[in-house]
Amino acid sequence: MPDVLALAGGVGGAKLAFGLASLLPPDRLTVVVNTGDDDAFHGLHVSPDIDTVVYTLAGKANRETGWGRQQDTFAALDALSELGAETWFRLGDRDLALHIRRTQLLREGHTLSEVTRDVCQRFGVEHAIVPMSDNAIRTVVETDQGVMSFQEYFVLHHSEPRVRRLVFKGIERATPSPWFEMAWQRADALVICPSNPFLSVDPILSIPGARNALASINGVRIAVSPIIGGKAVRGPAAKLFEQLGGGPADCVGVARRYAGLCTHLVIDRVDQALAPQIAALGIKPVVENTLMQTDDDRIELARAVLAVCETG
């Protein structure tokens, strides 16, 4: 059984992480999560991608949105709105409890890695879900409508502004979290979940030393394309290919971004005709159903990914 290091962003990443966690024992999987989307709301530290992965693995995620907790209520947010606070970022009551607790523990001097580990234990998640770094790294989006935080771009402005550049503020001085570094030293397979290559995966790869260390993992290094039939399952990944000069939004564009890092790329059956172009980039295409609508879909895709990890 391979020792897997998986890279994940929010909803798409969490779905494959769920599949991997269903098949691998806890000591064989580390999920390293993007924290570039982290932000402060109402004085609280919110880590949306970590929470999405934790809630999903804990069986607590809102299945309609993919983020936030199932059956949450919004009484606190309504009360905040009454008091004049901005409430475009929808934090449910139960979700808020996590941000209050996280903020309190961070203020007491604990690292984000330690807080995340504690939360996982309390939610009964045995697999390691770790932040990419314990340093503050913030994705700043430079657009035709001004410079904004990632959540302002994504939630407040619905990813509508045209993106000119992404800046991962704080990345130059950031170090990988201790569990990320341990995982890349130990892993014999790398799995890049179907997360946004620009907004979710690139921050992780941009931590000094990370991309080279991951490229040195001696084994299969496999990504799953988040682009199916030229469209992103969710979010702005497709338009970012066009806006940030990555060529057309298709799985070949995804392969180009991971060339030199990945040995394999899983593409959807609808993209089968593009397989030769991926092979021409030196990446082995693997054709599967990649749309994860049910828990069974998540597990089946994870099974296919792990089969490649074992056989190469």
Residues that bind ligand FO1 (CB under 6 A): 9-11, 37, 46, 48-49, 51-52, 67-68, 89-91, 95, 151, 154-155
CB 62 within 8 A of CB 69: yes
Query: CA 198, CA 238: separation in Å to the nearest integer?
Result: 10
CB of 157 to ligand FO1, least distance (A): 11
Nearer to ligand FO1, 34 or 263 (CB): 34
CB of 162 to ligand FO1, least distance (A): 19
Query: CA 25, CA 8: separation in Å to the nearest integer?
Result: 18
CB of 48 to ligand FO1, least distance (A): 3
Nearer to ligand FO1, 46 or 207 (CB): 46
CB 257 within 8 A of CB 271: no
CB of 15 to ligand FO1, least distance (A): 12
Nearer to ligand FO1, 150 or 220 (CB): 150
| Cβ-closest position to ligand FO1 | 10
Nearer to ligand FO1, 48 or 176 (CB): 48
Nearer to ligand FO1, 95 or 250 (CB): 95
CB 53 within 8 A of CB 129: yes
Nearer to ligand FO1, 53 or 306 (CB): 53
CB of 11 to ligand FO1, least distance (A): 6
CB of 201 to ligand FO1, least distance (A): 11
